[in-house]
Amino acid sequence: MKIPIDFIEKNFSAADFLANCDEAFRLYGQGKVEMLPREQNLDSFGKFTLKMPASVAGYSGYKFIEEMPSDSKGKLGQRTAVIKLELKNGVVIEFDAEYITNMRTGAAGVLGLKYFAPQIKTITILGTGKISKGLALCAVELGITTINIYSRNVENREKFKAELSHLPVNIITHDSVASAVYGACAILTAVPTPEAILFLKDLEPNVFISVLGGDSRTTQLDKEIMMNAVVVPDNEEQCKKSGEFKKALADGYYQDINFAKIDGQIANIGDASLDKLKLTNGLRVAYFTGLAVQDIYAAKMVYEKYIK
């Protein structure tokens, strides 16, 4: 069985994905989730593949992504993504994963804001792609009233603003990262760039940052941010394969990253969802590589509504 993508887009709001992702994070924090290691590969032709398996709440399955290289700096190539959800009776349900991925990723970044900077009403979003749109939609559900937005292309900035003009939020476009983050208390970044675009020198001392990363080919934060922030990973082992952390490992300063800890153990986003981790000031980074449980739990939500 394959569930049509238009059913997903028409029947599930940003609020639905926020609530679903929040619950998935809580289950993850409670140890009620099984996630096998991700299978990631980048071949000599630049084709990237990623398989993400998980089991939760009586369902199991995986997401599979295949992506071709792009000739354009700061852009990912053509991508296909599918989720396969296996029921207890062995039946497999297939989903086009694009919309689910965009919305569950946007929800995760905004939940970082909810957990660590809930009082903030003005944010900056770096990037104007589909994940950034998911961020904006979810941020409005959280009560955000102003969004500063930046991407390199002025047409993309204006298109992004126009597409979200129906929302009860003030969107301000900027022509540089420095302008967009000036005075910002919260930054949500989703830019597939091979070189860092956020620098410590441009940031306020108490800024919170949600990074939507997880790709070995991309890096959004500079070394100084990585060295000075309190970092909350969604999953430390997955982070080690992401651009910023790979660089830290290669250059020998990974052990100097100030990961948030509870009782001497590195904390994660599951701990934050359970209110076990309090970070209210200073430079804070929530780093989201993307958890397979987010995809499987979102697919569960869609399937259970579909069969009704």
C-alpha separations of 94 from 2, 89, 180 in Å: 5, 15, 39
CA–CA gap between residue 38 and residue 47 (Å, rounded): 16
Bridge partners, 65 (sequence order): 50, 81
Closest CA to 133 of 154, 162, 111, 112: 162
Arithmetic mean of pLDDT, 138-154 = 97
What's the length of the chain?
308
Share of the chain above pLDDT 70, in %: 97
What would the pLDDT profile of 24-56 be if each residue is shown by its tens digit? 999 999 999 999 998 988 888 888 899 999 999
Q: Are 182 and 201 in contact, with CB atoms under 8 Å apart? A: no
Average pLDDT over residues 81-87: 95
Q: What is the pLDDT of residue 71?
A: 59
Residue 195: exposure state from Cβ atoms within 10 A (0-12, 13-18, ≥19): exposed
**DSSP assignment of 148-215, as one string?**
EEE-S-HHHHHHHHHHTTTSSSEEEEESSHHHHHTT-SEEEE----SS--B-GGGS-TT-EEEEE---
Share above pLDDT 90 across residues of the chain, in percent, rounded to a whole number:
86
Strands (E), the chain: 2-3, 33-34, 39-42, 48-56, 59-67, 79-86, 92-96, 122-126, 146-150, 170-174, 186-189, 208-212, 230-233, 258-259, 261-262, 265-266, 284-288
Spatial contact of 180 and 124, defined as CB atoms under 8 Å apart: yes
- Write down the mean pLDDT value for the chain: 94
Q: Region 88-99: what's the mean pLDDT?
A: 94
Q: Which residues contact 245 (CB under 8 A, 6 or more apart)?
A: 239, 254, 257
Terminal CA-CA length for the chain: 15
74 has a pLDDT exceeding 50: no
Q: What is the pLDDT of residues 221-263, one digit of tens each?
A: 999 999 999 999 999 999 999 999 999 999 999 999 999 999 9
Q: What is the pLDDT of residues 169-221, one digit of tens each?
A: 999 999 999 999 999 999 999 999 999 999 999 999 999 999 998 888 899 99
- pLDDT band of residue 68 (cuts 50, 70, 90) is confident
Mean pLDDT in residue range 146-158: 97
185-194 pLDDT, tens digit each: 999 999 999 9
Residue 75 predicted with pLDDT over 60: no
pLDDT at 76 over 60: no
